[in-house]
Amino acid sequence: MLPEKTAVKSLSGLGGWGRFPVTDVEAVRPEKARDLSPVGGQCIPRGLGRAYGDAAVLTGGTVVMTERLNRFLEFDPQTGVLRAEAGVSLRDVLRYLVPQGWFLPVTPGTKNCTLGGCFAADVHGKNHHRDGTFSRHVYGIELVLANGERVRCGPDDRPDLFWATAGGMGLTGIVSELTLQLTPVESAYMMVRHTRSPDLDRTFELLTDPKYDARYTVAWIDCLAKGPRLGRGVFMAGEHAKKSEVSLRNDPLVLPEKRVKPFPFDLPGWALNPLTVKTFNRVYDAFQGRKGEFVCDYDKYFYPLDGIEGWNRMYGKRGFVQYQYVLPTAGAFEGTRTILEELSAAGRASFLAVLKRFGPQGPGMLSFPTEGLTLALDIPMADGLMNFLERMDQTVSKHGGRLYLAKDSRMKPDVFRAGYPRIDEFCAVRSAVDPGGRFDSDLARRIGLCR
């Protein structure tokens, strides 16, 4: 019997951050970790719903919302080791622990997601080439299995279960708590260097030549640029600023409170078109490219989009698709050039086109990053988009690449299988702990995972 506050509710039109696809589900929202259990016939855990597609929904099943399980359980200010419930948001970790001199070891481009969601997607950040994925900094987790049993695992304790769950998209069980190593910082600020790149060769050079390296690196690309300017953009490198590098009267570990502005309405579908994106790209390139070296706070550096609440409404009611691939080093330059040529020739506009170099593959069985180049694009939903993306998928597969499950909303089973060679190993662990397939999601059904 579920406690009263955990009662099942019907939710209609639930999806991911891309607002495509959406579906109707039953949902429970436990208040206490002890109330956490698999419910209904089949279910899927959900954090703050920042995966873009259908990873955290299950048509005809139950979604287990974990956002109320947001308690800090233990923190050692000497070592930076944090034990917390899985529903704690990155926002709360930063709010309480940056002032004590500790930062997240790996962070995605939003702080509006949960520790459990970050472990389940094994997220990467701008420092992947140096620090790997999120799970590399996790000492252990507690997992609620399909039969309701609670087990602990870590890199040295039931490692198969741990590495199937890191990047396993909620399909091995519900992470109820985790123990994480934070990273020490002297300030809440970043030393940033922006370098303009006129073309793709130079962008590749900036991303890969050790001479330009920093802890955090990424390049924004103007994906509408063509011909000799194909792949032009701005290379952005950052380090945590030392105390001596920020001249402030206030405590350098504390940021002033900021107001988040809401995006007021759904823009009509025609508002985002190649012309508006071209104009945006010109202004962005001029503004960001001119900046050179500067200091800015971690919020502006890592989470510029979090400053506008509900920015996904900019893409209108039809939503948008995030398309993120990684290509292994051998075919990374050639494949990325082909994809950018296809994009600019088709005039498929993406405001956010971010190119990044990944370091070596980690041990997570379904973990996305592998050594090479990754490109992330936001493309508004439009007629013909699905056919266009299927052609891009072929280019990705031809170069030995894969698509990111946390961003995906449309990949077909053959593309998934080709990109994730450890799938059988993952399915063996999953069927040992969940023989009846109690944990499931629309994503897993669509890509034919373990079927």
Q: Give the interface with ligand FAD as residue ranges (CB under 6 A).
A: 17, 44-51, 55-56, 66, 86, 108-110, 113-114, 116-118, 120-121, 123-125, 169-170, 174-175, 305, 406, 441
Closer to ligand FAD at the Cβ: 116 or 132? 116
CB of 55 to ligand FAD, least distance (A): 4
CB atoms within 10 A of CB 21: 16
Closer to ligand FAD at the Cβ: 102 or 119? 119
CB of 361 to ligand FAD, least distance (A): 14
Give the pairing of strands 233-240 and 189-197. Answer: antiparallel
Closest CA to 363 of 95, 52, 47, 137: 137
Closer to ligand FAD at the Cβ: 389 or 406? 406
Closer to ligand FAD at the Cβ: 66 or 195? 66
Task: At 307, list the tokens.
Answer: 């400053």
Closer to ligand FAD at the Cβ: 105 or 252? 105
Closer to ligand FAD at the Cβ: 57 or 253? 57
CB of 64 to ligand FAD, least distance (A): 8
What does the angle CA 23 – CA 25 – CA 26 come to, to the nearest 5 degrees? 170
CB of 14 to ligand FAD, least distance (A): 10
CB of 166 to ligand FAD, least distance (A): 10
- The owner of tokens 């991303």 is 207
What does the angle CA 19 – CA 20 – CA 26 come to, to the nearest 5 degrees? 80
Closer to ligand FAD at the Cβ: 101 or 216? 216
CB of 337 to ligand FAD, least distance (A): 23
* CB-CB contact of 370 with 358 (8 Å): yes
CB of 399 to ligand FAD, least distance (A): 21
Closer to ligand FAD at the Cβ: 128 or 240? 128
| 245/145 Cα distance (integer angstroms) | 48
Cite the DSSP H helix spans in 290-351: 298-302, 329-346
**Strands across the sheet containing 22-28:** 9-15, 22-28, 62-65, 43-46
| 176/69 Cα distance (integer angstroms) | 8
Closer to ligand FAD at the Cβ: 323 or 344? 323
330-to-117, 207, 208, 400, 425 alpha-carbon distances in Å: 31, 15, 13, 9, 25
Closer to ligand FAD at the Cβ: 344 or 350? 350
DSSP label at residue 414: H
CB of 151 to ligand FAD, least distance (A): 13
DSSP label at residue 135: G
Closest CA to 326 of 151, 106, 170, 128: 128
CB of 78 to ligand FAD, least distance (A): 28
| 116/123 Cα distance (integer angstroms) | 11
Closer to ligand FAD at the Cβ: 14 or 246? 14
CB of 320 to ligand FAD, least distance (A): 11
CB atoms within 10 A of CB 306: 18
DSSP label at residue 51: S
CB of 432 to ligand FAD, least distance (A): 17
234-to-4, 118, 217, 315, 349 alpha-carbon distances in Å: 53, 27, 11, 24, 17
| 434/50 Cα distance (integer angstroms) | 25
Give the pairing of strands 308-309 and 183-184. Answer: unpaired
